[in-house]
Amino acid sequence: MLANERLTLAIQKRGRLSDGSLNLLQRCGFERRSFDSALFYQAPFLPLDILLVRDDDIPNLIQTTVCDLGIVGENCLQEQENPINPFERVKALGFAKCRLSIALPQEENFTSVDMLKGKIIATSYPTLLQRFLTKNNIQAKIVVISGSVEIAPQLKMADAICDLVSTGKTLAENNLKEVMTILKSQAVLFKSKLPLSKQKQDTLEIILKKWADLS
Ligand code: PRT
Ligand code: ZN
């Protein structure tokens, strides 16, 4: 077997996607405890290699064909995806469910999307937010922050935020309320549109059989 015929899968090293991704790898013969600080692992019984990286780096690893497959949140995928050359979603994986939502200070009275006109909105997802604003014919200023977005209104950096929400606890703790969802997300197995070699495709089919009950 040629070394380059091994299927490569990039997963998040540490974070909200890791647990669900490692559960899937257990089904492929990996022992959970065998993952330590290394960034590269070979599956014991399959021609499958695993790369552990930051989730934000995964779309580019697929785009540049460094890796065949990746697991990220739909939010991360869409933020980085070129609409003219989209990725292929192989399977929705049913974990890390969340939504990308607009939130306002709790005391603010929400009437319609139009009230975002002229506002400053803080987000880590400028592409998805801009797409939503353009679709709704809203001109607003986007301020990009990579984390702790919920603090922006208290610091008077922004009038509103656009961030991921799962339980809603973080919004409530920061005196914010969710007013609109712009994207529903979950973990997704994806690849580029380029076809895999016959052998890699065969390996993918084996993996998908092991994951058949997920959705
Ligand atoms: O280091 P690396 O770059 O790999 O990780 P990261 O910090 O970028 O990502 P991580 O691990 O926080 O999230 C990875 C993915 O998990 C996201 O891209 C989403 O697809 C998914 N996910 C699911 C979430 C959440 N739920 C979530 N609740 N990602 C982030 N959050 C954050 C959110 O940003 C907010 O600050 O949790 C807070 C809100 O949670 P609640 O429960 O209080 O609403
Ligand atoms: Zn990240």
Mind listing the pLDDT tens digit for each residue in 31-89?
887 788 889 999 989 999 999 999 999 999 999 999 999 999 999 999 999 999 999 99
pLDDT tens-digit readout, 116-143: 999 999 999 999 999 999 999 999 999 9
Q: Whose CA is nearest to atom 2 of ligand 1?
A: 54
Q: Which two tokens stand for residue 16?
A: 């909200």
**Model confidence over 154-211: pLDDT tens digits?**
999 999 999 999 999 999 999 999 999 999 999 999 999 999 999 999 999 999 999 9
Distances in Å between the alpha carbon of 81 and those of 25, 86, 91, 136? Answer: 25, 6, 17, 21
User: Cα(202) to centroid of ligand 1, in Å?
Assistant: 33
Rounded to whole angstroms, how far apart are CA atoms 103 and 173?
13
As given in the structure block, the two tokens for residue 36 are 């330590």
51 within 8 A of 67, measured Cβ to Cβ: yes
Q: Which residues pair with 99 in a beta bridge?
A: 165, 184
Closest residue by Cα to atom 42, ligand 1, is 167
